[in-house]
Amino acid sequence: MRPQEIVEKIVKISKQFMKEQLSSYELKKVIKTLINRHVPESFDALAYFKIPETDVITGVQCKECEVFGMERIHGTWYCPSCKAKNKDAHIQAINDYFLIINTTITNKKLCEFLHLTSPYIASRLLTKMNLPFTGTKKGRVYKQKH
């Protein structure tokens, strides 16, 4: 191709793809619609890999020694293995629950999953995470943040 032909080809291609752009208002409207209609992809890892829910290791994992079985004492998670302390160790466990088990959780399920004895503590942990929820009291179901 000669230099003049290259220029002509570029002009021809640019004319093909020249289209009127959206106004700022229209663009914001499209963005809002996309956000409102977005549905996150759901992946059932247990079903996909044929793993029974009972095989999932439950409890809170220590970030220091990676052992499961941290205990909640006076608002802090204690590791009986390495004696580490962590106030937020439950957050990773709850996020893992959402990814592996279900995208929703109840206080009762959280008590079972984190080995908590108090539904009051479970409720406080979930509330502090500012998770969206539906229902009240015993019917409350917390949802994974998106």
As for how many domains the chain has, the answer is 1
Residue 7, in any domain of the structure: no
Whole-model pTM: value is 0.70
pLDDT tens string 84-131: 999 999 999 999 999 999 999 999 999 999 999 999 999 999 999 999
Domain that holds residue 71: 42-143
* 109 within a domain of the structure (yes/no): yes
**CATH number of the domain enclosing 134:** 1.10.10
Q: Does residue 110 form part of some domain?
A: yes
Residues 83 and 39: beta-carbon distance below 8 Å: no
Does residue 28 lie in a domain region?
A: no
Q: What is the distance between the alpha carbons of residues 108 and 117, in angstroms, rounded to a whole number? A: 10
Among the listed residues 111, 81, 120, 75, the one whose alpha carbon sits nearest the alpha carbon of residue 93: 111
* Higher-scoring residue by pLDDT: 76, 30: 76
* Cβ atoms of 70 and 89 closer than 8 Å: yes
pLDDT tens digits for range 26-74 = 889 988 988 888 877 777 889 989 999 999 999 999 999 999 999 999 9
pLDDT at 132 over 80: yes
Give residue 9's pLDDT: 83
Distance of CA 130 to the CA centre of its chain: 12
